Structure 1
Amino acid sequence: FYRFISENLTAYLNKHEHDAGDVSFDYRLVADSDAEFARDEVVAEKGFYILPSDLFANVRDRASGDENLNETLERVFKNIEASAMGTDSEDDIKGLFDDLDVNSNKLGSTVAKRNQKLVKLLDAIGDLPLGRWEDNSIDLFGDAYEYLMQM
């Protein structure tokens, strides 16, 4: 689901900028400090906001070198939920990631082992051939999400 909402948001913002004439715009590459321009509008439209550095693809790209990946993911999930606080979508987003415990001993007995497992999970999810989100129904992403949660 994290991958889905990251790709969905990126495509949404890219389309708006491309339609406005900036065809080279790529939200993934925008500095976080420059990304705040759209926060209020995006939260009103999408119900949440993710800074570029917190997008699934960007976290995945840095994952193998992030000694605190578990903390990074926990912070990202909290930031996504916090982006909806005080808005109409707060109830929909609140607690969305509560079932994900990136510090669980089930992932490994040490932080390093947990992070190794988290890198593998991010890579496995990132490598799923889901195509562009616009070309798929939420059912495909939902099925993948349910499968991964069961595993």
Structure 2
Amino acid sequence: MSPQTKQAERDKLHRTLDEIANDLRGKVDGWDFKAYVLGTLFYRYLCEHLVHVINSEQLAAGVENFDYAKLDDDEHYTETLGYYILPFRLFDALEADSKKNEDLNIDLSDAFRAVEESTVSTDSADDFAGLFQDFDASSNRLSGNVKERSERPGSIMRAVKKLELGDFSDTTIDVFGDAYDYLHRTYASNAGRSGGEHFTPQESSEVLSEVAENKAKLIHRTYAALRAP
């Protein structure tokens, strides 16, 4: 993909992140803002990935017009993905009800906890343990006002919903990595927080993986590429 295409996708992602920040400016600390946005984005991914995989499997099995998101049954698909999310807790379901749901922060906390609990006694348990610990939907860090503690996660969810991610495999950038890097540089750093965290840009990772694949033949070209502005 051309650098122009990648930059256009990044610019669109960054504009959306800035819109969310402007909406919450002065209301949520930059460090917390990063955690809330990334947590929301990742939860959307988990939900959409689960729905896509289950629907694809059902279609391949000959089940027409199957849509997991519309099921009411308590069906578990932990063996398929290592986790499961019930239809009423899917990102789209919570986001659609976010403007009028006065208990959204509670529902989000329950949803995050349920994701982790769904992995208990599975090989993926360690990967999901504490996954959303930085996204405390009931924390006073969102607001000391109970009503606002539900309104603000809802605002973030509606903004993240606007991101036209489609099938994540269709994007030419590392959406999560790029969002993390941008949020960390722009907002967390402004809040005077670093936590000793580091992120390797996607381009550098691609070049280094090429070196690993071709061993020593590309060392000089790789060094030049990493030094390039």
**TM-score bucket (shorter structure):** 0.7 to 0.9
RMSD (Å) for aligned C-alpha atoms = 2.0
Structure 2 portions without partners, runs of 5+: 1-41, 189-229
CA distance in 2, matches of 1:68, 1:74: 10
Q: 2:165 aligns with which of 125, 130, 151?
A: 130
1:148 and 1:128 mapped to 2: Cα distance? 16
Q: CA deviation at 1:13?
A: 0.5
Alignment of 1:1-151 (within 5 A): 1-31=42-72, 34-36=73-75, 39=76, 42-136=77-171, 139-144=174-179, 147=182, 150=187
Name which structure has the greater RCO, CA cutoff 8 Å, separation 6+. Answer: 2
TM-score normalised by length of structure 1: 0.86
Relative to structure 1, is the Cα distance of residues 135 and 119 closer, same or farther in structure 2, using a 3 angstrom cutoff? same
Give unpaired runs (5+ residues) of structure 1. Answer: none
3-state SS, counterpart of residue 84 of structure 1: coil
How far does residue 145 in structure 1 lie from its aligned partner after superposition? 5.1
**How many aligned residue pairs are there?**
145
Shift of residue 97, structure 1, vs aligned partner: 0.5
Percentage of matched positions with identical amino acids: 39
2:50 is matched by which residue type in structure 1? L
CA contact (8 A) 1:130 1:141 kept: no
Report deviation, 1:77.
0.3
Range moving further from structure 2, 132-141 or 51-60: 132-141
Task: Identify which range, 42-51 or 70-79, moves more after superposition.
Answer: 42-51
TM-score, length basis structure 2: 0.58
Query: Larger C-alpha radius of gyration, 1 or 2?
Result: 2
